Amino acid sequence: MSQEARSQCTLEAVREAAVRIAPFAHLTPVLRSASLDRISGADLFFKAEHLQRVGAFKFRGACNAVFSLDEATSARGVVTQSSGNHGAAIALACRLRGIPATVVMPTSAPAVKRAAIADFGARIVDCEVAQHDRDRVTARVLEETGGVLIHPFDDPRVIAGQGTAALELLHQVPDLDAVIAPVSGGGLLSGTLIAAKELAPRVEVFGAEPEGAADAHASLREGRRITDLRAETICDGLRAHLSERTFGILSRRCDGILLTRDEEVLAAMRLIFERMKQVVEPSGAVALAALLRERGRFSGKRVGLVLSGGNLDLDALFAPPRGG
């Protein structure tokens, strides 16, 4: 990581990001649940990023990155490979700035995801599902357009943007004992660490990760980045590996990675639906699942949890009514 890049991963950068995205992003509420407090034995404060624009915290980082571009660069447009929440976030941020966005997406991506990204006005360029073909097509698009690639997490502007969620949370709930955020590539957790550890050093910050994609846990345990694990989890937002940049930030600052099983994630997700009446995707329930597994550790504590996203495939629930 260059000195220049590292210098951007600061509380100051998070504060600048907060100002930059304020006209566009929602200041999301903090939700409570007496029922989940009782079940967990802790005081829980849910940062409702499923209510963020595009339904996920990803809009914060994408918006900060897109609005950080200088005029000349931005005019050539932004390119991304993600067909998930980051892709939608880039598409919306570019529309808001009035610049072109191109999303490179496998032809096999669900029609509903293609439609969502197209609705935000992004150009979709097809590729094959294999990573080398995605990279080949992305490189071609970058060359043709002269545009800039915004990585979903390995980018200090993205990390600073994601950190604004924790910045808000710590202002909304000043006396937290701990914060738990899901970890995948580590952008959200890195931003959370930067904001929390500089603003309120007493607050413990944990990542939460499914056992089926536990590369962050393994990397911190081994003291080196582990990238050869094959992800198998229902948490489709949590299958990426840490980058050198996010591994560095987590190594220096994170108080631990909490693990959880897919069944526990589903049970936590169901609790959030039933008790809070909120729609979250599996990745959004990982922090609660991890906390419930380690009830003793958090007993009596005031804990912030990031409900990271709410973009769920609802087909199972909304099958046509039988005989209706």
Residues near its own copies (CB under 8 A) are 50-51, 55, 233-234, 262-263, 266, 269-270, 273-274, 277-280, 310, 312, 314, 316-321, 324
**Which member of 47, 58, 113, 197 is catalytic?**
58
Give backbone dihedrals phi and psi of 73, rounded to 5 degrees, phi first: -65, -45
| Residues paired with residue 180 on neighbouring β-strands, in sequence order | 206, 305
Considering beta carbons, is residue 296 or 321 the nearer one to its own copies?
A: 321
Shortest spacing between CB 314 and its own copies, in angstroms: 6
**Catalytic residue at 83?**
yes
Considering beta carbons, is residue 238 or 249 the nearer one to its own copies?
A: 238
Shortest spacing between CB 262 and its own copies, in angstroms: 4
Side-chain half-sphere CA neighbours of 26 within 13 A: 15
User: Which residues does 122 contact at the CB level (< 8 Å), separation at least 6?
Assistant: 87, 90, 91, 94, 95, 101, 102, 103
Shortest spacing between CB 273 and its own copies, in angstroms: 5
Report d(CA 305, CA 225) in Å as an integer. Answer: 25
Shortest spacing between CB 62 and its own copies, in angstroms: 18
Q: What is the DSSP annotation of 16-60?
A: HHHHHHTTTS--PPEE--HHHHHHHTSEEEEEEGGGSGGGBTHHH
Considering beta carbons, is residue 186 or 212 the nearer one to its own copies?
A: 212
**Catalytic residue at 47?**
no
Considering beta carbons, is residue 13 or 93 the nearer one to its own copies?
A: 93
- Which one-letter DSSP state was computed for residue 317? T
- The CB density around residue 239, as the number of other CB atoms within 10 Å, is 19
For 45, the token pair is 């404060």
Considering beta carbons, is residue 120 or 153 the nearer one to its own copies?
A: 120
Shortest spacing between CB 34 and its own copies, in angstroms: 9
- The CB density around residue 252, as the number of other CB atoms within 10 Å, is 9
For 171, the token pair is 């202002």
**Which member of 33, 40, 68, 83 is catalytic?**
83
Question: Beta strand pairing status for 78-80 and 101-106?
Answer: parallel
Q: Which residue type, as a one-letter code, is found at position 192? A: T
Shortest spacing between CB 53 and its own copies, in angstroms: 9
Shortest spacing between CB 324 and its own copies, in angstroms: 4
Report d(CA 46, CA 37) in Å as an integer. Answer: 11
Q: Evaluate whether 310 touches 284 at the Cβ level (below 8 Å).
A: yes
Considering beta carbons, is residue 57 or 206 the nearer one to its own copies?
A: 57
Q: Evaluate whether 44 touches 169 at the Cβ level (below 8 Å).
A: no
Q: What is the rounded radius of gyration, in angstroms, for the C-alpha atoms of the chain?
A: 19
Report d(CA 56, CA 289) in Å as an integer. Answer: 18
Any idea of the CA torsion for 123, 129, 132, 137, to the nearest 10 degrees?
Answer: -20
Considering beta carbons, is residue 33 or 219 the nearer one to its own copies?
A: 33
Q: Evaluate whether 152 touches 185 at the Cβ level (below 8 Å).
A: yes
Active site residues: 58, 83
